[in-house]
Structures are given as structure tokens and as C-alpha cells.
Structure 1
Amino acid sequence: MSETLRENALLRDTHDPLAKLRGKFVLDEETVYLDGNSLGALPAHVPDRMADVITREWGRLRIRSWDESGWWTAPERIGDRIAPLVGAAPGRIVVSDSTSVNVFKAVVAATRLSTDDRDEILVDATTFPTDGYIAESAARMTGRRIVPVAPADLADAAGPRTAAALVNHVDFRTGRLHDLPGTTAALHAAGALAIWDLCHSAGALPVGLDEHGVDLAVGCTYKYLNGGPGSPAYLYVAERHQAAFDSPLPGWNSHADPFGMTPGYAAAEGAARGRVGTPDILSMLALESALDVWDGVAVEDVRAKSLALTDFFEECVAAYVPAGRVASLTPRAHSERGSQVALRCAEAPAVMAELIRRGVVGDLRRPDVLRFGFTPLYVGFADAERAARILAEVLAEIPAEAPAPQASEVRREAAPDLDS
């Protein structure tokens, strides 16, 4: 069986139209890197670009680079490069600050776009914790209350008191893909706004922000977009909301006349309203350079490979790993899957530590989830087969502490209670 799967993997890699992109990243053959959903690999050309930014633009041009090197326009320019990857037209995305800061801007702005009698903010009950923390703080500040709701129940939960809903497009623990078009339409039917967190979907699958009428969206750039550790996040504001978008963090960078230094605030036009203070230029320009790897790449092709990779990895796990040692948290249906596979394993901490020691780098979500992210730009089918084979070897050496639960039990237990 192992030889057949290995031969299958090599054949698939040979015919993979995206395989040539692997050479554009700094990788080593000794490591299977399956943690791009936490930190993307380094595009090989970025160090030379950053050397030029540091030595010439900062070192020699210094302050002149704000104009001559285009530093000032970087947040909107880079936003326009991200736009096609998430299905947005130019002028609707600004790159600025962190995801957390942008979540705060989006949630508060959404309540300001709503009416006072809409006093509820629905929050994805399985959300990444920071989104929940930020939403709760925004609710206290705006006199609203948080209502945690399972993503599948949002359509039924939205009503005349709902101002907005904050939802993760892909669940960070399980890799479950939530229904962005359907949920957005249901929220609009209830008179509410849709705010989507795209951290685990942008760069892995088509999003369709404009097509599906999303109101506001945020996302990071250091995962599937490979922008580097702590690279700046982005904020999407639908064109129909831009004139009324009222940021809770007005700064000199988002002023209509930023160098006028007037005491009164007047907001800039368009997505630039999402800017706040001076941009982090070094990280910003590293991200811009990293986005070069997307030139000529269709997100639809990336999605097709992502689904094929995750299918193949699950096939290899089923073939190699003894029954009962792991249970998949990730939906099998393509319409419900992001670009990762999460496996519930009672011995997960010890297993992941040993996997990393043997060159298979995934990550751990305590207490018992092994998480493997598949970045189609540089992960191949041989990587997936090797990772599953080594996982089986590690599990054969680490005694089972307790039987793994059934998948149905796993999925039922995956949602935290934000009220606790």
C-alpha cells in the first residue's frame, strides 16, 4: 500500500501545474512544512528586495522615500494587489495594522452604520479567541451586547435587533469552511451587516467579497499570503459603505489632508479611511514583494490543488495510521473544507513534538488537536504522503493513552462557549 501511495504522489507531483512555484520559496528537502496556515514560507526573492529597501531607500534616500519610493501609497497599493485574491475590486482594501486592530475598526464601524435599536452583535461561537475579545470590548463601548452563535445557526439567529455578525470564514481549529454567500445573504435579509475574518481562507480558496455582497472583512497576510512574521493585516470596506465608514481609530494617516496638521478630523475618501498611524514600512514592503509569487496564479487552481492535497493526505492517514488513534475534525465535503486537516489525537502534544523532530512541521492546538496546513504554492503530494507515513511511525512508538473519539463527537465538542 505504501509503495502504491508513494508512486501515486510522485505521479501527481509530476503533473501538477503549480509544482514549479515551489522553487520560488526558501525550503529544504529534509522538512515537510505543513504550518503555512500559521506562518507562510519565505519567498526566495524577498531578502534581496528588503536589502534594497534598507540600504538604498532607507539608507540613502531616507525621508525622500515616502514620495520617491512610494512608501506613502503602499497601504492602498498593496491592498489592490491583495484584492483579486479575495474577489474585490481596486480601492476597497487597505493594508494597515494587525488583524485584531482591524477587527475592532470593523465591528465598531458596523455598529455606527447600523441603527440604535439594533443592539446585538452576533459572534461566531467557534471564533479565534481574539476576535471574541475584541468584539466584546467593541460591544461594551457601543452599548451593544454579544450573542455567541454557531456559524450554521447565524441565519436563524439574525433578526431586527442584529446590527452585525462577525464570522470566521474558516475555523482555525478544524478547518471547516463556513458558508459565506448564504450567511451574508441571510444577514442582509435581516437588515444586518456581515463582517468576515479571512485569515484562514485568503490565498487558499476563492472568497468573492464583492460578488457576495460582504460589508466588511479583515485578514492577516502572514499565512497563505506569505508576507512574513507579523506582516500587516488588511481591511476591506465595500464601496457602498465607504462614504459613511466611521473608523473608531481616526489618525493622521486617514485624514483628508494628513500634512495639514489641523486640529479637526476630516476623513479621507475611500478605503484610506482604514489607515490610522504611520505604516510599518519594512513589513509592508516585505509583504508587497512576497505577493510577487502570485503573478499569473489563479486562486481557482490553488483551490483545486488544496482539495486534492487534503483528500490525498486523509487517504494516506487512513491507510497508514492504526484505526482508533486519530479522528478527523475536518469535514470531508469539499464545500465545507478550508486548506488544512485537523486530527484529534489523545497524545497530540507528544506526537507533534516527535513529528517536528523528524522533519514534519505541523502545529498543536491544545489539548489534543494535530493541525496540518496545506499551502498549494509549495506543498506537494509527496509531502502529504511522507507526513502521513511518519505520523503512523510516530504513533506506533507512542503508546495510546485513550481511544480517539468518533468524528461526530469531535465536531460536537469543537465549539467553545464564549459565555463561560
Structure 2
Amino acid sequence: MRKFCAALATSLLLTGPVTAECGGGFADFVGDLKAEAQARGFASSVTTAFFDGVVQDQAVLRADRRQGVFQLPFTQFARRLISANRIEAGRANAVRWDSVFDRVEQDYGVSRHVLLAFWAFETDYGSYQGDFNTRDALVTLAHDCRRPELFRPQIFAAMELFAQGDFDPQRTTGAWAGEIGMVQMLPEDILDNGVDGDGDGQVTLKTSVPDALMSGGKMLQSLGWRAGEPWLQEVRLPEGFDMSLTGLPTVKPVTEWQALGVQGRSTPLQSGYSGSLILPEGHGGPTFFAYPNFNVFFEWNQSFTYVLTAAYFATRLGGAPIFDAGSPQPALSGEQMMLLQRKLQDRGFDVGEIDGILGSGTRAAVRAVQKELGLPVDAWPTKALLDRL
């Protein structure tokens, strides 16, 4: 699933004399969308047919508010998503679709293991792609005022696909958040990056593996993927390492990290690159080195835990060993994390939504408070830190 940041989504909006605001009555909102579609140049027949029978889907709203899995720490989350069956299926698919992956790597420079990881996590290699009506999901989420800047542009992108004959507003289904196909792409991404990988003259992401994989590869390239470069590697830190140097904001050349004693756990760090150290569960847990390509994963999904798990799974598919889980301090519960976020907010930190999820804003605030209190600056909130606050 790709989630745009608000600023990017807003920049993609087309201006026009009519703007459909979120909230209010659903029927009035749809009426405003129809007027905006006309202002954007869609034919009346296209507009009428696209919105015919549209409904507000309460199941979509419930799904949007039920994302507690992202409260899990990395180790638990990774063990939940990565199974022996998924690894075996990934390796089997790598063989089965070897020629397609060769084309992806040649044309877009994206490793097959990265695409396999997304294919696995998004739809279990295409076996479950979601059964929500895509049009209804997009209109429902655009009407909801949580993230209208993300979903409203997708409605008109879906309309463009419909006008081209590549979208059926009555029958096209997918994930609750409007993504379609085996690697779950939003309509705007399909317009920009859809590839006819099997040569049948259509881009069919739900049933054509070549179309889905080629489109996913092109999208990752468009998001900044650097051809042929690594993305993640497990490492070991020396005793007494300065934990304040960890975290994505601190970027150094590999040679400097090596001089500080950082070593690859199973293979040497790859010279010629820069990167950052990631401690998803603090200084007692696993440690990874993030190369520049790791940041592209955040353009696909903004959940730190999901991104790290997908990037790690891609390395596993490429032959990396199971990570060393170490002995991290226990994670805070969801309620404890929300209490921590409120306490950090009271101290003037911007932690975003009080949601119990250890996102980038909360991590940055935790680091600042750890430094202030003389604790290891590893961005991992513990019960001891919560008690100190």
C-alpha cells in the first residue's frame, strides 16, 4: 500500500472552480464531486456512470480505524508476517517468474527480492487482494475528514482509468484503502506507472503477474530507487557504542561506521555507500544498517515497522540469516504508549496523533528526552522512561 504524505498529495490536486470538501452530508459531497469532475473536463456520461450507485461504506471506516497491528514491536510484527510458507512461496515464485524479474531488474533496477516482499505482504502473492468496492472505498475515505488530501485525488484518477476502459466502478475491488491488484497500487499510481507486462494491450494488475510486477518495479524506480544498490543489512555494534549516533537522521559513509567498530553480522558492509543505523527495539534488540534505498520503502508505506519488516524480509529472500532478536527491554502496551505520547506532548513535543504507535515523531521525542535524562539515546521507550516522566 502506498501512502502519500499530505504535502505531496495536495500538490497533485488539480485546481478548478469547484472544490469538494470533506464531511457534511454524503449525498451533497457526491454532488460536489460530480460538479468537480465536470470542471476537470470529464464527460457527463462518464461522470454519471462512474458515480451511479456509489455508497458510503461503513466497513471501510471501521477498517481505517482498526490498525492495532502496527502497535506491535518489530520482532513480533516480523514473526507474524514472515513464515516458512511465505519464504518458500517467495522462492518458488522467484523461479516461476524468473524471466519477468529479469526484465524488472534490467528496466528498473529493482531487486526481485524487494518486489517479492511487497507481493507477499500486500496480497500473499496475489491470493487475497481485498473485496472492498474500490470506488466506494475512495469516496468514503475522501468524505471522511481524516485524510481527504490523500484520497480525493484518487477518485479522479479512478475516473480517468474508467474513461480509458481500465476500471469498472461497479465491479473493481481491492483493499479497504482503495489499492488495486497484486502489489496494491492506488489509481493515481496505476495511471503514472502501469505497465503492460504481458503484451496484451491492457494493464491488469489483479490477474496478470507480469503487469503487476513490472508496474511495481516502475513505481519504485519513480520513487527514487537506485538501481542495483543494497537497502538493508544486519550489523553488530561494539561495546560502549554511542547510541546517540543511531537513527535515520544520522547518515555517515560506511567507512566512518567501520572506523567506529560497526560490522556486518553475516557479510561485510558494502563500501561506497552512506547510511544509518536502526535499532527498532533499542540497544538490546536487533540492529540494522539502512542504505539509501531503504528510504524508498517509506514512499510505499509510512509505517516504520512495516517498512523495516518488508526490507528485512527482502534480505531473507535473498539468503540473509534470521536476525538476532537480542534481549530488548519489553515494549510498552498500547495504553502505556498513548500515555507516553500525551506526556511527551505536554512537554512540547509534536508526536502526531495519540495512537499508541511508535512513529517517527514519537521516536524523535523519546530520543530528546532520553538525552535530557541521561539514558541511552536509542529511541526505544521503556517502562522506566515512562516512570521517569
TM-score between both structures, scaled by the size of structure 1: 0.28
**Between Structure 1 and Structure 2, which shows a larger proportion of helix residues?**
2
TM-score between both structures, scaled by the size of structure 2: 0.30
